[in-house]
Structure 1
């Protein structure tokens, strides 16, 4: 090994090094929270390219946000490798469509629209005769349309799928009426030569499946010699189908086997949008024999106290055998203990969190070291008001269409100064980390949301709590208010996820 290659691998632990040097054939990396996932992926790509085993121009790494793709490209470049493509599923597919479009059709390229709510509202009014729907209704209808696409459920199959899975359509529609609405929406969109985000993936799938478009298919596949898929626990059936088609083995053929998937089943928090950890769990059966199957379970991000709490959240799960157990990579002290605080009202809770950060900042912490995590957007206004009253600046990260972050249409503007506290939903905080974290609203009905019975919905909430906990590097405070205003007769119970 030459000096340059040795530098690429330096400071990796044993498991990270095994993953980084396993560069051929199918590889699965189970990477727990804080375990150096991005570090391992980027060094694996840089190492393979530096050794001459991979051609950088034929390397594709896909992840789930523009920001994550940019960070991946930057890190690979800093390791001395240029020309690697790091992109989201949607942006990679859009580039592929643009590249071959003129070769497969004379039709104009469709107009990619980010906001199809007017078409959805019009389809609802036409199908139901009920007039213009409320904005929240349109949002729910849009989410259902997106779910059908990423789940590969056609309008013709929608009624049957609902019957088989007991799925209830939104807006009090019956399945047949919802299927009609989807059909009307698609017809209107086609008439306007428009596409939405998920149409991009569907179109590339259709192109790669069409036996009459072999040249275009070969052109796309020829540019993918080595594929890495990050956040594999959150891929949808549509994304999985596209990945198999990129590799040329969608229908059982061997195709290209140089694929590496990276993920953590315990961080699956987008099941409501069609994501599933099934493909991560089943990767060995689907692509075996594997060249390497590596688990990264040392959390270098969080203190031992935080890691223990995170493990205890998952330990109560009936699915715990499918989750990895983290070990803290921080030596010495366990760090401050995780605290749980009960407040009388939501306003008390918001003020308590704000004052906690005021005290920390007075002792030398930066405002940007601090984050308040919420379960839903509606919690954020009171937190923002309390921070403002305490003289602290803030930025807000909301759940605003997680899939819309895949084509540089993010609505969140990053403030990278040291002067603001972050207020974020747990969903929007995934992939981020902060020295000091407060998770508010840890009561039954809110976290877990709706107090679900044991089953898939409860497990999703448990994983969400786990993701929230593992955002904390040093201090973690969990809190809840026993009532909205301190006077309500109905008292809230502490979340079942709070450890006593």
Structure 2
């Protein structure tokens, strides 16, 4: 980042803090200079928000209205105009990325004083408060923060003990989700049991009690506990609470519409003494109710703080008026919102393009073709086009993670680089979690989950039986009511003091204990990168990855990246650096992995895209039942949140916006209809791309289906039952003629090996959750050579038009093995479009392949497993005829 790490905002005031009185406000020329520098870049509403410093303030900041600028300029105004000491100011954000951006901007304005402003996410601030003062409520200083993977391991341990499956109602993610929602509502295990009515609720309550007991025994907390314990610290430790209330006289909360009940109460507790609370947010962007966010926090702010001033920011600096009017056309249909309408001084702006596709593959192919046409970087054919688009200025947004599959395949086919946000995050990669587990055990003897992660990384022959013996030895007993720390048990087992552990396991455990002891001795004497070097070397991680070939090289690169990140903490004392590094890596969010400078297209869910922006945006999947989601069709509150999500997606676009939908989402699905949100956008703002489609005549073009949908929604037609898409109006499309005509139009050049995944009911209940439920994907037609138009990435949308007499595609033929192909040194064996069979992944199409120093890497789109890159020498691939 551009500035040094902030000082710990939760510590005791320094001598300087205690002795420096509040500076008197500036006057004369000095005042004029400060006012000019801070206020000149702001519009009238922003100035009012910045200079209103006493008492509660609600800043209603519409999308792209400069809310970060307002917060940073307000803090600068407090320090340089009002004479407030920087350490008296607290600013709370929701992501590390937002906090870092805010601090960088503040540093540019006021210099090193920015380091003294307390700034961070709710979770990071609570974590640091608890590190310092948690013992006041019985929480040890050295607690471990468990992420989602660690939490799942705990629940899986319970399931194994109870001989229960990790599926159905005892699926770990479902249990943990229910526990998390209860915690966000402020409920503990006792309260969950009292309120449980159904069998599943009683089951979850029992697991919640065991889960809480186990985490306490392991000296661990999860993300929800950070907030709960942070609030409990303020409510049950009066002396500690008074110190923080006295320390922070001015509170700023960003994205206030996303706060849950615990965060809301935490803020009220801190602001109780001085009342100088500034919250910034937009009720139209409240899209996280599924994780506890309560829109009432912002809607009822004036009721909670009767003396509050309200400043609306309605001037937008991001998007064209066309885009803003489209977003307003959608969100203005919500009843539960504060009235406001964004406007801009930006001139120009194209109409919004709408495309109706036959299926997700057609939709993806059209998006890719539009990217090729707009980007001189990709094609090299449009260098003379006005304002050629860079790939890093393009984003494709979708409602659920499962939708990215077709888009990824189309991009791969056209060799367009992309970054997938919300896939496997950096800190969730296996080797990175392995390394972090080693760091965690260096600071905790009780973290069983981390200890068990490192026992066989690299493999050491420590089996399940040995692990059960270690767990039994660590469990509570008459002599040790609270149990024995797991690290102590491992050391004892290495000395032969745990009965039943065989010689091989005993030697391995002795080696682990010895490595941990040596690394602990070095912590205070080396930098954090040097400590990681020791972990990589002495744990055996480095040697293990070196033996894994190409895959090992990629994983080793991730460990080197982790080492580089650790260098950011070198200015802290060694122990503090280790604690902060482990803590911050546990609190990283999806958006923190976003690289806005990378020359590649961004694929991201609508939820994860909030707070980001691009010159060109595609929103795919605007089909009734998908977006809005089927769960919202009969629920007014959920429908309003879906509408807000659409508003967020539209306002991510700066200059160009394209919206698309598919009438068929997957194999076996009924006919779908365009989303109602398309009908809510004023028609004069839209242009239907299908009107220029040479393959479709006036009777069959998808533009007719789109217009029928508009008419159906506008006319208030009754929702039909038993249709392919719940909630679609009966006049939204013509299922007989339109779909059959589209089938004929595409049959002339139907994509060989078109892979279709069935629609899912997987509402994006966690933006980084890639799981979805549905039938097994199937191959819809035979896989063979990809025709030239498909190889360019155009898919069916780039196929030649149907001509009279063109036969329909043949039925699926039996699988045959192709004749043996000669292997020529220095040349690729696998060709783009080859139909191949893998013993585990099944049938797929070769998207591309490339030669490496020792092998051929083959990228294949599998019907049941998605896109994978395999080493040809060990993949056992069979080319089919």
In the superposition, the TM-score normalised over structure 2's length comes to 0.52
Q: Is the 8 A contact 2:317 2:346 kept in 1?
A: no
- Report the CA distance between 1:4 and its aligned residue: 2.6
1:232 match: 256
Matched, 1:428 2:608: yes
Q: How far does the alpha carbon of each residue in 1:395-437 deviate from its partner, in whole angstroms, 9 at most, with x for none?
A: 0112889xx9995433563334341000000000000011100
1:187 counterpart (192, 213, 216): 213
Q: Is the 8 A contact 2:132 2:141 kept in 1?
A: no
Aligned partner of residue 475 in structure 1, secondary structure:
strand
Matched, 1:91 2:139: no
Q: Relative to structure 1, is the Cα distance of residues 124 and 233 closer, same or farther in structure 2, using a 3 angstrom cutoff?
A: farther
CA distance in 2, matches of 1:305, 1:465: 15
Q: Relative to structure 1, is the Cα distance of residues 473 and 481 closer, same or farther in structure 2, using a 3 angstrom cutoff?
A: same
Q: Is the 8 A contact 2:49 2:59 kept in 1?
A: yes
Q: Is the 8 A contact 2:34 2:81 kept in 1?
A: no
Q: Is the 8 A contact 2:320 2:347 kept in 1?
A: no
Q: Relative to structure 1, is the Cα distance of residues 397 and 134 closer, same or farther in structure 2, using a 3 angstrom cutoff?
A: farther
Matched, 1:5 2:39: no
CA distance in 2, matches of 1:372, 1:119: 36
Query: Which sections of structure 1, spanning at least 5 residues, go unmatched?
Result: 250-254
- Report the CA distance between 1:204 and its aligned residue: 2.2
Q: Is the 8 A contact 1:120 1:185 kept in 2?
A: yes
2:286 counterpart (264, 268, 278): 268
- Report the CA distance between 1:58 and its aligned residue: 1.6
**Two-structure CA RMSD over aligned residues (Å):** 2.4
1:112 match: 145
How do residues 21-100 of structure 1 correspond to structure 2 at under 5 angstroms?
A: 21-80=51-110, 81-82=113-114, 83-100=116-133
2:341 match: 326
Q: Is the 8 A contact 1:343 1:349 kept in 2?
A: yes
2:588 match: 409
Q: Which has the higher contact order (CA 8 A, sep 6+)?
A: 1
Q: How far does the alpha carbon of each residue in 1:249-268 deviate from its partner, in whole angstroms, 9 at most, with x for none?
A: 3xxxxx22011011111111
1:141 counterpart (169, 175, 178): 175
Aligned partner of residue 328 in structure 1, secondary structure:
coil
Q: Is the 8 A contact 1:266 1:324 kept in 2?
A: no
Q: How far does the alpha carbon of each residue in 1:270-317 deviate from its partner, in whole angstroms, 9 at most, with x for none?
A: 001110111111111112212x21001122211111011101101222
Aligned partner of residue 116 in structure 1, secondary structure:
helix
- Report the CA distance between 1:197 and its aligned residue: 1.4
Matched, 1:20 2:44: no
Q: Is the 8 A contact 2:363 2:661 kept in 1?
A: yes
- Report the CA distance between 1:94 and its aligned residue: 1.2
Q: Is the 8 A contact 2:178 2:204 kept in 1?
A: no
In the superposition, the TM-score normalised over structure 1's length comes to 0.89
2:165 counterpart (131, 143, 147): 131
Q: Relative to structure 1, is the Cα distance of residues 65 and 407 closer, same or farther in structure 2, using a 3 angstrom cutoff?
A: farther
Q: How far does the alpha carbon of each residue in 1:364-400 deviate from its partner, in whole angstroms, 9 at most, with x for none?
A: 1100110000101111122112112222110011288
How do residues 355-434 of structure 1 correspond to structure 2 at under 5 angstroms?
A: 355-362=369-376, 363=385, 364-398=388-422, 408-410=587-589, 413-434=593-614
Q: How far does the alpha carbon of each residue in 1:234-260 deviate from its partner, in whole angstroms, 9 at most, with x for none?
A: 10001111112222x3xxxxx220110
Query: Which sections of structure 2, spanning at least 5 residues, go unmatched?
Result: 1-30, 377-384, 429-583, 680-709, 711-881
Q: Relative to structure 1, is the Cα distance of residues 161 and 309 closer, same or farther in structure 2, using a 3 angstrom cutoff?
A: farther
Q: Is the 8 A contact 1:355 1:390 kept in 2?
A: no
1:218 match: 242
Aligned partner of residue 327 in structure 1, secondary structure:
coil
Q: Is the 8 A contact 1:35 1:297 kept in 2?
A: yes
- Report the CA distance between 1:2 and its aligned residue: 2.5
Q: How far does the alpha carbon of each residue in 1:471-494 deviate from its partner, in whole angstroms, 9 at most, with x for none?
A: 111111110111136x85711111
- Report the CA distance between 1:107 and its aligned residue: 4.5
Q: Alignment length, in residue pairs?
A: 476
Q: Relative to structure 1, is the Cα distance of residues 156 and 108 closer, same or farther in structure 2, using a 3 angstrom cutoff?
A: same
Matched, 1:467 2:485: no
2:787 match: none
Matched, 1:478 2:659: yes
- Report the CA distance between 1:227 and its aligned residue: 0.4
Q: Is the 8 A contact 2:136 2:233 kept in 1?
A: no
Aligned partner of residue 139 in structure 1, secondary structure:
helix
- Report the CA distance between 1:136 and its aligned residue: 9.9
Aligned partner of residue 274 in structure 2, secondary structure:
coil
- Report the CA distance between 1:223 and its aligned residue: 2.3
CA distance in 2, matches of 1:136, 1:346: 33
CA distance in 2, matches of 1:366, 1:427: 24
CA distance in 1, matches of 2:128, 2:69: 26
Q: Is the 8 A contact 1:399 1:425 kept in 2?
A: no
1:252 match: none
Q: How far does the alpha carbon of each residue in 1:139-160 deviate from its partner, in whole angstroms, 9 at most, with x for none?
A: 2222221111111122222356
Q: Is the 8 A contact 2:618 2:658 kept in 1?
A: yes
- Report the CA distance between 1:214 and its aligned residue: 3.1
- Report the CA distance between 1:52 and its aligned residue: 3.5
Q: Relative to structure 1, is the Cα distance of residues 441 and 53 closer, same or farther in structure 2, using a 3 angstrom cutoff?
A: same
- Report the CA distance between 1:332 and its aligned residue: 3.1
Q: Is the 8 A contact 1:42 1:72 kept in 2?
A: yes
Q: Is the 8 A contact 2:130 2:141 kept in 1?
A: no
Of residues 411-420 and 380-389 in structure 1, the stretch that sits farther from structure 2 once superposed is 411-420
Aligned partner of residue 418 in structure 2, secondary structure:
strand
Q: Relative to structure 1, is the Cα distance of residues 281 and 494 closer, same or farther in structure 2, using a 3 angstrom cutoff?
A: same
Of residues 416-425 and 346-355 in structure 1, the stretch that sits farther from structure 2 once superposed is 416-425
CA distance in 2, matches of 1:325, 1:296: 9
1:246 counterpart (259, 267, 270): 270
Of residues 466-475 and 48-57 in structure 1, the stretch that sits farther from structure 2 once superposed is 48-57
- Report the CA distance between 1:161 and its aligned residue: 4.9
Q: Is the 8 A contact 1:302 1:474 kept in 2?
A: yes
Q: Is the 8 A contact 2:421 2:594 kept in 1?
A: no
CA distance in 2, matches of 1:279, 1:71: 25
Q: Is the 8 A contact 1:366 1:418 kept in 2?
A: no
CA distance in 2, matches of 1:204, 1:26: 23
CA distance in 1, matches of 2:138, 2:186: 25
Q: Is the 8 A contact 1:15 1:295 kept in 2?
A: yes
CA distance in 1, matches of 2:595, 2:107: 24
Greater gyration radius: 2
Of residues 257-266 and 412-421 in structure 1, the stretch that sits farther from structure 2 once superposed is 412-421
